Amino acid sequence: MTNRSADSVVTFKHPFAIGAHGPELPAGAYRLSVEEELIEGLSFAAFRQTSTTLEVPAIGVASAIRQYLNITRDDLDAALDKNDGAGPDAS
């Protein structure tokens, strides 16, 4: 199966939470990675999203520990809508 990944940056202007029970994270620019796999058997190339990962803490924040939070696209979109944040920018 063919896989592909795309990395981008998502910016939050205010502190935010991903999902209903997630911890509040500070405002900033965060790395976002999306993994997709090829849907086989079609007459054209189509991909299905298999994972979305947000790297914490934000870009430019010094930290000895980095976490990668598996999130849903719906939770990300909801957090951006509530935050007046900027969507993913292609990197």
pLDDT in tens, 2-23: 899 999 999 999 999 998 777 8
How many domains does one find in the chain? 1
Mean pLDDT of the residues in the chain: 89
Its domain, for residue 43, covers: 3-90
Q: Output the pLDDT for position 86.
A: 58
Q: Output the pLDDT for position 69.
A: 93
Distance CA 11, CA 59 (A): 10
Q: Output the pLDDT for position 83.
A: 86
Q: Output the pLDDT for position 55.
A: 96
Name every residue whose Cβ is closer than 8 Å to that of residue 42 and which is 6 or more positions away in sequence.
none
Average pLDDT over every residue of 56-72: 93
Half-sphere exposure at residue 27, Cβ-oriented, CA atoms within 13 angstroms: 9
| Percent of the chain with pLDDT strictly greater than 90 | 81
Q: Output the pLDDT for position 91.
A: 45
